[in-house]
Amino acid sequence: MDDPLLLARAQFGLNIAFHILFPSLTIALAWILLGFRVAYHRTGEAGWLKTYKLWTKIFALTFAMGVVTGIVMSFQFGTNWPGFMNRVGAIAGPLLGYEVLTAFFLEATFLGVMLFGMNRVPPWAHIGATALVAAGTSLSAFWILALNSWMQTPAGHVLDAGQWIAGDWIAVIFNPSFPYRFTHMMIASGLTASFVVAGLSAWRLLKAPADAMARRTLRVGVLVAAVLAPVQAVVGDFHGLNTLEHQPAKIAAMEAIWHTEKGVPLVLFAVPNAKTRTNDYAIEIPYGASLILKHDANAELQGLDAFGADHPPVAPVFFAFRIMVGIGVLMIAVSWFTAWVTRRDAQAPRWLLWTLAGFTFSGWVATVSGWIVTEIGRQPWLVHGLLRTSEAVGDISGAELGVSLTGYALTYAALFAAYMVVLTHMAGEGAEAAAAKALPGASPAGAAAD
Amino acid sequence: MDLPLIFMMLMGVSVLAYVVLDGYDLGVGMLMPAASAAEQSVMVSSIGPFWDANETWLVLGVGILLVAFPLAHGVVLGALYLPVVAMLVGLMFRGVAFELRMKALGWHRELWNWLFWAGSFLASFAQGFMLGRYITGFERGFGFLLFSAIVGASVCGGYVLLGATWLVVKTEGELQRKALGWSRWGLLWVALGVGLVSLATPMVSETVRAKWFDFPRTLALMVLPAACLWAGFIVWRSTGRIARHQGSPDWQPFAAAVAIFAISFLGLAYSLYPYVVIDRLTIWEAAAHPSSLKVVLVGAAIVLPFIVAYTAISYRVFRGKAKGGLYD
């Protein structure tokens, strides 16, 4: 483990995987918060205000985690991957710069007004601040996904004295995979946030079954998820077809297709064997992959053998893809079933509440798996076809990387543990009091008003 | 148009904005152990609405270094790798402790309070240490490390001064009276630090020595230390007058503290120009491709006025004395 390339990748991978947890929640949660805020403004119900305040606290904590882990990244771009900036900095730099300028300051500044300014500014300004925070988080996602998509499917670039520079910025930003990846990520965020909302509400209902607001927010989360989950399946399919067109090696790794052939089966499960370049213990559906990817059972698909050594490692991409898709299917089932059971404001049975509570962070697992597919699936390239990861690594010593990797890992473990404890604590806070109060009259409205 | 020069100035402004803005909230963090629990609540409330945006200036400064001077970004942050990690770990614990300390109970709250203080201190010291390493061109050896440690301690003192004078603006009564005292201690600490660093810098760097001792320009340069002394005097005098209710406005010590930082920063900029890595890389050698500089400049020219405007709005919304319990 003293290979600097491997350590640099491990460190950067740990960092982005930890970082993405928090934006993937805040991007969509910001819009849900705007909904709560507007609901309070329209109805004047104290319950909505209480809900808004609870979820702004969760948002603020999550946002802070995103900010502090994001700052780390702005340093690591240069320290771990100096070759990246030297070769494609003229394209990556401005995209990152625009993210800081247009999004970071906007969200960070108005977050202050949103969190603490409710009694200091008129309602329209407070709603406006909430909307600007939401716009800022989405804008930030726009720039980052533009850059990431450009690294997957570069376009609009020209070579100038050994550096890749932008010939056409519109083509760089709206590169071939950008619309798909951006939509896929925004919906992923929507699913992550809606399952967190539904899951923590279910957690609260398990402790205080009469909490009417928790029942409402559970329904908000479930309905948003029920709409988004099937849409995500369709968007994901389009995204896959786009990947097949531009990064066929990634698709071959996702589906563990080792050899180019016609009528390729869909591998449901297998253990890809990199030594024999075959799949062990495979369970397959005949013609499935050809059917899904080419919409023709006999179509030919390129296998990994078509790319020589220039293809990603198969096992992590293959398994991560199956985890993502598996969770996506379960999300559709859970959200639809719960939406049906809780129709006309019916209380969900306890076993279903436990299920929802168990799915609270399913969006995180699916999102991180999806990013593992797309990022490891891009290897050995850092920028597809233009720059190899091994060409971009810096000359930080293995020892320095090892020390800092350990430091980051310990820090992240501590922060994550604290985050989870506080999140579940906040979700359950006051639940006992609410339950006790609701007992005499057993009126849901009474529980909502306190 | 000299794009690298424009970006150097832009980066300078971002770094100075960061140092002053995050400086005061890091300073407030370092002062936490000196206050009672109720006072701590007011102190945290006084920086609550601002700290996120304050830290964004660091991202902008590092972002400009990355975007405009990619060669220097690699050299500087590569040489400062471990102190950068220490700073980031400090900032992370501090930022999260900020949110968690109010939501935790019992010994958990004590733990987060401690981490908030320790994180603020670690981040401040690491920033000063990095500045020391940067000025000395990342030379290795005990003397250079000692120099960097002194700069680290001085920056802590500077941030304490900023934090204490910020509290003079944002608090009242007993806590304000305490903050006035902290301001004076911070000032003494800064005076010692600035003095030591000013004496040591020409000794550790030949380049800086040549720039400072170049008569008759040296005489004109004496304006900087003179202005710095005057700003220090204003801090001392105004804190005394506020304590005795003799009518100095409560923003005066903070403004003078900011002036000390701005003047020191100008001096530093003069010493280092035109290098982005001293004795190794000038800003023109390290600059990125002109096409990317142009694109970012257009964006910055359009967006920065808005950033300044809504930052001003935010400070206006949260003007006046801070009350405790913002987080409850």
pLDDT digits (tens, 9 = 90+) for B43-62: 888 888 888 888 888 888 88
**Given an 8 Å threshold on Cβ–Cβ distance, is B78 in contact with A408?**
no
The one-letter amino acid at A38: V
pLDDT of A179 strictly over 90: yes
Please confirm whether the linkage preceding A380 is cis (ω < 30° from 0).
yes
Q: Which of A27-31, A148-152, B7-11 has the lowest mean pLDDT?
A: B7-11
Measure the N-to-C terminal CA separation of chain A; round to a whole number of Å: 56
Q: Residue A275: inside a domain, yes or no?
A: no
Question: What pLDDT does A100 receive?
Answer: 87
Q: pLDDT tens-digit profile of B60-111?
A: 888 888 888 888 887 888 788 888 888 888 888 888 887 777 776 667 778 8
**C-alpha distance from residue B243 to each of A6, A108, B169 (Å):** 59, 35, 13
Q: How far apart are CA B118 and CA B126, in angstroms?
A: 12
pLDDT at position B217 is 77
Q: What is the pLDDT of residue A444?
A: 38
- Judge whether residue A158 has pLDDT over 90: no
The reply to whether A279 falls in a domain is no
pLDDT (0 to 100) of residue B220: 79
Task: Calculate what percentage of chain A has a pLDDT beyond 90.
Answer: 36
- Whether residue B151 is predicted with pLDDT greater than 50 in this model: the reply is yes
Residues 6+ apart with CB under 8 A from A119: none
Residue A210: pLDDT above 90?
Answer: no
Query: In this structure, is residue A123 part of a structural domain?
Result: yes
What is the residue-wise DSSP string for A254-306?
HTT--S-EESPPEEEEEEEETTTTEEEEEEEETTHHHHHHHS-TT-EE--GGG
B281 Cβ under 8 Å from any chain A Cβ: no
Q: Identify whether A282 is part of a domain.
A: no
Domain ranges of chain B: 17-317
What pLDDT score does A74 carry?
Answer: 77
Q: A115 and B49 in contact by Cβ < 8 A?
A: yes
C-alpha distance from residue B87 to each of A77, B160, B192, B286 (Å): 16, 17, 24, 25
Nearest CB to A71; choose among B64, B88, B296: B88
- Structure token digits, residue A141: 């996602």
Mean of pLDDT over chain B: 85
In what helix (H) or strand (E) does residue B140 lie, and over which residues does it extend?
none
pLDDT at A440 over 50: no
Q: Give the pLDDT of residue B328.
A: 46
Q: Tell me how many residue pairs between chain A and chain B have CB atoms under 8 A apart.
A: 196
Closest CA to B94 of B111, B127, B117, B125: B117
Min Cα separation A205/chain B (Å): 21
According to DSSP, residue A100 is labeled I
Chain B residues within an 8 Å CB radius of A26: none
CA pair distance A257, A278, nearest whole angstrom: 8
Q: What is the average pLDDT across A412-432?
A: 80
Predicted confidence at residue A368, as pLDDT, reads: 95
Bridge partners, residue A443, by sequence:
none
Domain membership flag for residue A297? no
Chain B residues touching A120 at Cβ < 8 A = 317-318
Could you read off the pLDDT of A259-290 as tens digits, one per residue?
888 888 888 888 888 888 888 888 888 888 88
pLDDT at residue B326, as a whole number: 62
Residue in chain A nearest B72 by alpha carbon: A78
Please judge whether A109 and B288 are an interchain contact, meaning their C-beta atoms are less than 8 angstroms apart: no
- Nearest C-alpha in A relative to B52: A108
Please name the residue of chain B whose CA is at the shortest distance from the CA of residue A167: B291
pLDDT at position A131 is 94
Tell me how many domains chain A contains.
1
Range with the poorest average pLDDT among A53-67, A150-164, A179-193, B206-220: B206-220
Mean pLDDT for chain A? 86
Of B65, B91, B296, the CB nearest to A71: B91
At B216 the pLDDT is: 76
| Res A441: pLDDT | 39
Give CA–CA dist A146/A181, Å, rounded.
9
| Domain with residues B17-317, CATH architecture | Up-down Bundle (1.20)
Nearest CA in chain B to A162: B289
Is the Cβ pair B78, A404 closer than 8 Å?
A: no
How far apart are the C-alpha atoms of B18 and B14, rounded to whole Å?
6
Alpha-helical (H) ranges within B205-251 are 206-212, 217-221, 223-243
Q: Report yes or no on A288 lying in a domain.
A: no
Contact B99/A at CB under 8 A: yes
- Whole-Å CA distances, A142 to A185, A236, A259, B14, B31: 10, 18, 37, 24, 39
**Whether the predicted pLDDT of B214 surpasses 90:** no
Instruction: Specify the pLDDT at position A346.
Output: 79
Instruction: Give the pLDDT confidence score for residue A442 in this predicted structure.
Output: 39
pLDDT at position B325: 63
CB-CB neighbours of A449 under 10 Å: 14
B247 in contact with chain A, both atoms CB, cutoff 8 A: no
A293 pLDDT more than 50: yes
Q: How far is Cα A71 from Cα A68, in angstroms, rounded to an integer?
A: 5
The DSSP result for B27-87, as a single string, is: HHHHHGGGS-HHHHHHHHHHHTTTHHHHHHHHHHHHHHHHHH-HHHHHHHHHHTHHHHHHH
Whether A401 maps to a domain, the answer reads: yes
> Do the Cβ atoms of A96 and B314 come within 8 Å?
no
- d(CA A42, CA A34) in angstroms, rounded, equals 12
- The mean per-residue pLDDT over the stretch B193-218 comes to 80
ipTM of this complex: 0.79
Q: What range does the domain containing A87 cover? A: 4-260+302-449
With an 8 Å Cβ cutoff, are B318 and A404 in contact? no
- pLDDT of A345 higher than 80: no
A206-215, B17-26, B246-255 — most confident range: B17-26
pLDDT in tens, B235-256: 888 888 888 888 788 888 899 9
Best residue in A56, A105, A144 for a mutation probing chain B (most B CBs within 10 Å): A105
Separation of CA A279 from chain center: 29
